[in-house]
Amino acid sequence: MRFPWQKRKVEQPTDFPLKLNTDNLNWCRDARLLLIEGNGTLKWESRGRNEDWSQQYALTLRGTPLIVHNAPECPTCAGLLATGYGLDKADAPELQQISDVINAPYVDLDTSIASMAPLLGLLSSGLYVIADGDSFPADGNGNFFWDVPDAFSNVEATGPAWYNDPDFEFTYSEGAPVFLYPSQPRTRLNQERVDYYTQRFDTTDTFPRAIAFYCAEGISVLLDGHHKACAAARLGRQLPCITIFPFGGYFYAQARSSSTPVPDRAYFGPFTVSISQLPAKILPAKPWQQTIDTRPAPYSGNLIRDSKLPQEFIDAGRNYPTWYEFGITTVADIGKVTDDDLSLWLENPLKYSPQLRAALIYLRCHCDPQLKEVAMKCADSSDRWSKLREAAFNHLAALKGDSEVEQYFIGYFVDVETGYESDVLTDIANSFWS
């Protein structure tokens, strides 16, 4: 098969695009592995090490940084992100060229891939996964995706979320790229376009897709679809998004006839593909053997934050889970929370602690008026040291100004045992008035 972005026909023992299994990826509907022959103008560049030994990478389009990532030496730690100059500073006629097609009603992933040919032709030659799934118009730190600083800041979704408590049988979450960072300055915000997409936000099946490029672990940078993301935030919905995943490296296994480890699976963000499915002559180079660009990070000043966002979007960002909370809801696998679910779980809160912790997040994200009542029941019926009670206190403390919650916390201080005035629950309760 020859693709529109390929200059010549490539012999492919494996049929590309290769459909990948997404059954265990709740956020993803469909995915393809592609072999692309591009000109390398849209790529991640390695820019050497910082003084703290973190590795710096920049996603650039024709040399213009769209986002800069300081990845720590520790593979299970979160990194830092900074915005780039913005797509309006880059020469990107390809995005304009495909705008009419990608803004049309969604048909299927293969149709979208074909329509994205001009954009995909900007990538460096190699293997990529293109996936259709849902993202939150938020950064994973509790902020609307466009409400982020230009300067380097800690973004939890760039690393695994750790869960060191008895409610869960795992230590950290598996990467699901469901959070977003912007690539456009705020001055590009057009309320008429937001209104247009708000009216068209009928079903996920046909809503026009946004386009993102994978960054790390749980976060991607949005290339196209900032107004679609605003419409999703206004409605409290997730954003249907097509994400590009470059090759990330190999998982190794011991060779049968040798003690030397050999590549076993290639990974592209959360996707893995067996080496046996890939022809040897197209296997990617190891990331650490690729060309390194040692130019300094070229960002400064207000690049993305060049105007004030409407308050409705800033407020909407708080209605999405954080990276830590997303892991809880994913593992608990509760789906839509019903009254019957809540009744069952509240009969035995300690037994159903994971489900109730996830339910509190669900209720908050859906602005459900039951949140206060359920949180109080969880706080009253849990062991003092349980993570459920701590979570319930946090949700209640966020309801600042609520007279019923205020009386609840006053009652807590009246009854608190001597010697426990400074424990974590007391600190959370005090935060209600701060």
Helices marked H in 175-300 — which ranges? 191-200, 226-235
Q: How does pLDDT run across 399-419, given as a tens digit for each residue?
A: 999 999 999 999 999 888 776
CA–CA distance, 206 with 289 (Å, rounded to integer): 41
The two structure tokens encoding residue 138:
């938020």
pLDDT value of residue 300: 54
Q: Is the pLDDT of residue 10 over 70?
A: no
Provide, for the chain, the percentages of residues in helix, strand and coil under a 3-state DSSP scheme, each rounded to the nearest 5.
35, 25, 45
> How many other C-beta atoms can be found within 10 angstroms of the C-beta atom of residue 314?
15
- Angle ∠(103,218,52) on CA atoms, nearest 5: 125
Out of 181-195, 269-283, 304-318, which region has the weakest mean confidence (pLDDT)? 269-283
- Angle ∠(250,251,256) on CA atoms, nearest 5: 115
Domain ranges of the chain: 18-289, 337-431
Q: How does pLDDT run across 318-353, given as a tens digit for each residue?
A: 899 999 999 898 888 888 899 999 999 999 998 999
pTM check: above 0.95: no
Cβ–Cβ under 8 Å, residues 245 and 126: no
Residue matched to tokens 């230590």 = 171
CA–CA distance, 218 with 173 (Å, rounded to integer): 10
pLDDT value of residue 399: 95
Pairing of strands 126-135, 79-83: unpaired
